[in-house]
Amino acid sequence: MKRAVLAALAAVVWLGGCGGSGSLPTGNNPTPSDQELPDTPVKPSPEAPASLWPLTTGSTWTYRITDPQRGIFDKTVEVLGPKTVPDTNTTAILVRSVQPHLEEQSWQLELQNGTVVRLREEDLKAGAVVRVTTWNPATVKSLAQEQQQGWSYSSTIRELTREDTGLVDEKERTYVWRVLAVNETVTVPAGTFTNTIKIQRARPDKAGSERTYWLVPGVGKVKEDGERLEELVSHTIKK
């Protein structure tokens, strides 16, 4: 697995203006010189196959969430475009997710190995940042490129979380991703999709932590099952 220094990423990732919301005091957060990515970021060419995880500016998705504790509600996701990752000199794609009483902002990149990684995530309540999470190396978020059934990918990361209460938590975690099936048919409120790729994320150290995702080329995630159920209601994908 290649190791890349985030300080050099500005030469190979999409360029964008500084942005994002304010952040909590970060102290020992990884800097561009000591945080790692598992591979090199890539900008898809116009001829590239349709992505399983579109990160084009202006793309939106609405999901119906069925949560055992919180009931049923909607979540909206929007790609805001290239923004500077707070506390670094790195540019990544900012994705905003909004659900009742919670907003998340996530800085993501697609890599040459076909994965999408998260560099930083912020949780906001009433417009204020209450939690910041970073990963070293950046943690896998999903797949962007289609893989054959049986494909797997394992990564071990160190996760650092800081809350507005002053709480700091650092953990080492290993995640294993697998392609369970290809060309599955899935029906959700947005319709029936026949070319779905079914993937699973698991933590070997935690039984029952599996999450299963159904991804469609050119659409993205249409369904997720695990701690709660997410089903696609509508979407708009920008070119």
Q: Judge whether residue 118 has pLDDT over 90.
A: yes
Q: Judge whether residue 53 has pLDDT over 70.
A: yes
Q: Judge whether residue 11 has pLDDT over 50.
A: no
Measured between alpha carbons, how far is 71 from 234 in angstroms, rounded to an integer?
Answer: 20
Measured between alpha carbons, how far is 198 from 185 in angstroms, rounded to an integer?
Answer: 10
Architecture of domain 4-236: Beta Barrel (2.40)
Task: Work out whether the CA dihedral 88, 93, 94, 96 comes out positive or negative.
Answer: negative
Report pTM. Answer: 0.82
Q: Judge whether residue 67 has pLDDT over 80.
A: yes
Q: Are 237 and 54 in contact (CB under 8 A)?
A: yes
User: Which own/partner contact pairs does 100-109 have at CB distance under 8 Å and 24+ positions apart?
Assistant: 100/70, 100/73, 101/125, 103/127, 105/20, 105/21, 106/141, 107/20, 107/83, 108/55, 108/141, 109/9, 109/13, 109/37, 109/41, 109/138
Region 82-100: mean pLDDT is: 96
Domain boundaries in the chain? 4-236
Q: Judge whether residue 183 has pLDDT over 50.
A: yes
